[in-house]
């Protein structure tokens, strides 16, 4: 029932990317009767086609087009061409994601006022508050079927969670539970309940975990108002003399360039590709790229302060059985500068299979120190640190000076240096994580460095004033009224929480705004 729209149809909203932001916006608009074309660079793989195998799944779904890195972050050394672990496929990174769905805390919308000016950080208050977003958080939680909201029971704790919980109790943490997960603990929304398969990062073959691929997108298509065009890589956004955008040039499945005309364009390619596309859309009128009068496009790249702690025990754990992110500790998420840093972090269980553990435990490491860790793979428990990192102007996505992709589009370079606050937070979290596992009898713990970024944020940030950021409080660019940003690149700051629930809430809110503006004929 997918409605195929004509390339020349200039009445459609064109959305770039079909992930958390784009897929949600597309369905929300389609439900309101607005015609939408989603251009998606990747292919369409339905959930039966997902693969319970880490590298094979990575090859099927991950974004592996060339990127470059620079800066002092360890990812630049370990994975120079893989700054981010995200997806190129219909559904975007919601195919790979773990499902943790947390609301931001009130102060995280007001970081400049709360933390004050921090040297080397480009902090700014969001132009919206928690109260503005609360009704949309509620809608998003219902849409995603988040456990422990809407009377949905929590998931049962797996082995990895039980170890975490036992340690949390010993350390006196109060807020440790199986999380707010966008994973069905019982059948809901015509989808299965979680079968504890343990391959959440490889795409849920049961469809128990929310992904736009099998929720928003088919629902939108069923209205007849949404077309998703896979294998369509947007290269450039065109505009007219008045400065309004008019269409999107993309490479189709055969590599041929096409232009889809548009009434409105919404960019949702995740925080590396979205600024790359805006920066590549240069013209005489906009020599620095679209929506870039502030010069902020691509800047303030955030990736959360991350890291993992794995512990080895004298008895088996089998952490890989069951949900990958099976539980959370929230006690450290508060802002408490007495710990030596501003902002806070969450601790969430995490498990990797043996192949990814070998690749990520200590990239570049070798010898017995490394291999004796893996020897105890089935005796390991693991957790992931996710905390607020500081936005910095120099942490940014730029177009590579001479390296180009197969379509002739300059590849993205991702530059990142840790702020001292990030490092202090990570060290604190490593200590807490190690102490937690030691308290349950770990014989050895591993402070594991950050993986390529799964959370990518901030590169088209939201601001009250046009001079400080790229988009306003509706994700509408300050410079061009029919150009929107609909993904995590809108985030003014990153919060301590996994970002997707906030991305989805912003997309629902943006759909209301776009529909209003369209019926008022302002768009």
Partner 1 sequence: MVTIYERKAGERKPGLSRRELLKRGGVGALLVISGSAVISPEHAWGLETSALKPETMATLIQMARDIYPHDQVPDKYYAIAVKAHDEQAGKDPAHKDLIENGIADLDLKSGKDGYTGLGWEEQRVAVLREIENTPFFQAVRGGLVVGLYNQKEVWPIFGYEGESYSKGGYMARGFDDIEWL
Ligand X SMILES: Cc1cc2nc3c(=O)[nH]c(=O)nc-3n(C[C@H](O)[C@H](O)[C@H](O)COP(=O)(O)OP(=O)(O)OC[C@H]3O[C@@H](n4cnc5c(N)ncnc54)[C@H](O)[C@@H]3O)c2cc1C
Binding site for ligand SF4 (CB under 6 A): 183, 194-200, 204, 206, 208-209, 322-323
Residues 495-514 contacting ligand X, CB under 6 A: 498-500, 503
Which ranges of 281-419 would DSSP assign to H, the alpha helix? 354-360, 368-375
Choose between 116 and 156: whose C-beta lies nearer to partner 1. 156
Residue 409 near which of partner 1, ligand SF4, ligand X, none (CB within 5-8 Å, type-dependent): none
Residue 92 near which of ligand SF4, ligand X, partner 1, none (CB within 5-8 Å, type-dependent): ligand X
Element (H, E) at 401: strand 396-404
CB of 91 closer than 8 Å to CB of 18:
yes
Residues 432-471 contacting ligand X, CB under 6 A: 454-455
Candidate segments 18-26, 256-264, 359-367, 389-397, binder of ligand X by CB under 6 A: 18-26
- Provide, rounded to whole angstroms, the least separation between the CB of residue 52 and ligand SF4: 9
Rounded (to 5) percent helix, strand, coil in the chain: 30, 20, 50
Q: How far, CA to CA in Å, does 131 sit from each of 106, 109, 137, 325, 462?
A: 8, 10, 10, 28, 17
**Residue in 470, 394, 75, 47 with CA at minimum distance from that of residue 217:** 47
Residue 275 near which of ligand X, partner 1, ligand SF4, none (CB within 5-8 Å, type-dependent): none
Q: How far apart are CA 270 and CA 485, in angstroms?
A: 10
Tokens 């969430």 belong to residue: 348
Element (H, E) at 76: helix 74-78
Chain contacts with partner 1 (rule: CB under 8 A): 52-53, 55, 156-159, 162-163, 166, 194-199, 205-206, 315-318, 320-322, 353-355, 357-359, 364, 366-368, 370-371, 374-375, 377-379, 440
Q: How far apart are CA 505 and CA 495, in angstroms?
A: 15
Residue 183 near which of ligand SF4, ligand X, partner 1, none (CB within 5-8 Å, type-dependent): ligand SF4
Q: Which tokens belong to 501?
A: 């629930």
Q: Which tokens belong to 48?
A: 């039966």
Element (H, E) at 428: helix 420-439
Residues 98-127 contacting ligand X, CB under 6 A: 98-100
Rg (CA), the chain: 22
Residue 209 near which of ligand SF4, ligand X, partner 1, none (CB within 5-8 Å, type-dependent): ligand SF4
Residue by residue, what is the 3-state secondary structure of 491-520? Answer: CCCCCCCCCHHHHHHHHHHHHHHHHHHHHC
- Provide, rounded to whole angstroms, the least separation between the CB of residue 462 and ligand X: 14
Among 19, 167, 382, 450, binds ligand X (CB under 6 A): 19
Query: Should residue 475 be labelled a site residue for ligand X when binding is judged by CB under 6 A?
Result: no
- Residue facing ligand X at closest CB distance: 19
Query: Cα-Cα-Cα-Cα dihedral of 29, 30, 33, 36, to 10°?
Result: 90
Among 14, 29, 30, 39, binds ligand X (CB under 6 A): 39
Candidate segments 16-24, 126-134, 137-145, 284-292, binder of ligand X by CB under 6 A: 16-24
Query: Should residue 16 be labelled a site residue for ligand X when binding is judged by CB under 6 A?
Result: yes
Residues 66-95 contacting ligand X, CB under 6 A: 85-89, 92-94
Choose between 296 and 323: whose C-beta lies nearer to ligand X. 323
Choose between 359 and 466: whose C-beta lies nearer to partner 1. 359
Tokens 């943790």 belong to residue: 100
Candidate segments 64-72, 110-118, 131-139, 264-272, binder of ligand X by CB under 6 A: 264-272
Residue 18 near which of partner 1, ligand X, ligand SF4, none (CB within 5-8 Å, type-dependent): ligand X
- Provide, rounded to whole angstroms, the least separation between the CB of residue 364 and partner 1: 8
Residue 170 near which of ligand SF4, ligand X, partner 1, none (CB within 5-8 Å, type-dependent): none
Within 13 Å, how many C-alpha atoms sit on residue 212's CB side?
Answer: 32
How many residues interact with ligand X (rule CB under 6 A)? 41
- Provide, rounded to whole angstroms, the least separation between the CB of residue 447 and ligand X: 20
Residue 87 near which of ligand SF4, partner 1, ligand X, none (CB within 5-8 Å, type-dependent): ligand X
Within 13 Å, how many C-alpha atoms sit on residue 457's CB side?
Answer: 25
Residue 93 near which of ligand SF4, partner 1, ligand X, none (CB within 5-8 Å, type-dependent): ligand X
- Provide, rounded to whole angstroms, the least separation between the CB of residue 291 and ligand X: 15
Choose between 57 and 296: whose C-beta lies nearer to ligand SF4. 57
CB of 200 closer than 8 Å to CB of 61:
no
Q: How far, CA to CA in Å, does 139 sit from each of 319, 393, 473, 485, 509?
A: 33, 33, 18, 20, 10
- Provide, rounded to whole angstroms, the least separation between the CB of residue 46 and ligand SF4: 15
Which ranges of 109-158 would DSSP assign to H, the alpha helix? 111-115, 130-144
CB of 255 closer than 8 Å to CB of 235:
no
Query: Should residue 234 be labelled a site residue for ligand X when binding is judged by CB under 6 A?
Result: yes
Choose between 202 and 432: whose C-beta lies nearer to partner 1. 202
CB of 31 closer than 8 Å to CB of 13:
no
CB of 311 closer than 8 Å to CB of 434:
yes
Element (H, E) at 276: helix 270-280
User: In the complex, which residues of this chain contact ligand X (CB under 6 A)?
Assistant: 16-22, 39-42, 85-89, 92-94, 96-100, 201, 233-234, 268-270, 273, 277, 325, 454-455, 487-488, 498-500, 503
């Amino acid at each position: 029932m997918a409605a195929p729209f004509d390339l020349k149809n200039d009445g459609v909203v064109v959305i770039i990317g079909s992930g958390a932001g784009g897929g949600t916006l597309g369905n929300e608009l389609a439900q309101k009767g607005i015609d939408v074309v989603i251009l998606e660079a990747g292919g369409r793989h339905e959930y039966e086609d997902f693969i319970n195998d880490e590298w094979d799944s990575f090859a099927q779904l991950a974004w592996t087009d060339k990127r470059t890195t620079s800066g002092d972050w360890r990812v630049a050394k370990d994975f120079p061409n893989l700054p981010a672990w995200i997806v190129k496929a219909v559904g975007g990174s919601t195919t790979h994601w773990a499902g943790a769905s947390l609301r931001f805390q009130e102060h995280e919308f007001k970081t400049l006022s709360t933390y004050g000016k921090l040297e080397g950080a480009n902090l700014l208050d969001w132009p919206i508050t928690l109260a503005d977003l609360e009704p949309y958080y509620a809608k998003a939680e219902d849409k995603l079927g988040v456990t422990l909201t809407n009377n949905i029971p929590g998931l049962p704790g797996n082995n990895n969670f039980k170890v975490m919980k036992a340690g949390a109790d010993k350390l006196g943490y109060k807020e440790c539970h199986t999380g707010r997960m966008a994973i069905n603990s019982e059948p809901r929304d015509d989808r299965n309940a979680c079968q504890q398969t343990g391959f959440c990062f490889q795409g849920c073959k049961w469809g128990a975990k929310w992904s736009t691929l099998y929720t928003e997108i088919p629902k939108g298509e069923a209205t007849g108002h949404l077309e998703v065009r896979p294998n369509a890589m947007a290269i450039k956004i065109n505009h007219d003399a008045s400065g309004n955008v008019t269409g999107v040039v993309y490479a189709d499945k055969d590599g041929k360039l096409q232009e889809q005309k548009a009434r409105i364009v919404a960019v949702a390619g995740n925080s590396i590709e979205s600024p790359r596309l805006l920066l590549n859309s240069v013209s005489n009128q906009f020599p620095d790229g679209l929506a870039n009068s502030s010069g902020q496009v691509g800047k303030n790249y955030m990736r959360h302060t991350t890291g993992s702690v794995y512990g080895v025990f004298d008895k088996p754990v089998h952490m890989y059985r069951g949900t990958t992110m099976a539980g959370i500790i929230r006690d450290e998420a508060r802002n408490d500068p007495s710990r030596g840093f501003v902002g806070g972090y969450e601790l969430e269980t995490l498990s990797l299979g043996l192949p990814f553990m070998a690749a990520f435990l200590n990239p570049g490491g070798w010898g017995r120190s490394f291999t004796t860790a893996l020897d105890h793979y089935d005796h390991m428990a693991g957790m992931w640190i996710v905390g607020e990192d500081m936005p910095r102007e120099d942490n940014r996505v730029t177009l590579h000076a001479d390296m180009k992709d197969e379509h002739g589009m300059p590849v993205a370079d991702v530059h990142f240096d840790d702020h001292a606050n990030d490092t202090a937070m990570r060290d604190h979290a490593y200590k807490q994580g190690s102490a937690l596992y030691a308290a349950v009898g770990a014989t050895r713990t591993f402070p594991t460095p950050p993986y390529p970024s799964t959370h990518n944020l901030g590169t088209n940030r939201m601001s009250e004033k046009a001079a400080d950021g790229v988009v306003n409080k509706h994700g509408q660019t300050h410079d061009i009224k029919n150009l929107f940003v609909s993904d995590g690149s809108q985030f003014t700051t990153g919060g301590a929480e996994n970002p997707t629930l906030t991305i989805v809430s912003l997309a629902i809110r943006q759909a209301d705004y776009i529909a209003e503006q369209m019926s008022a004929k302002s768009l």
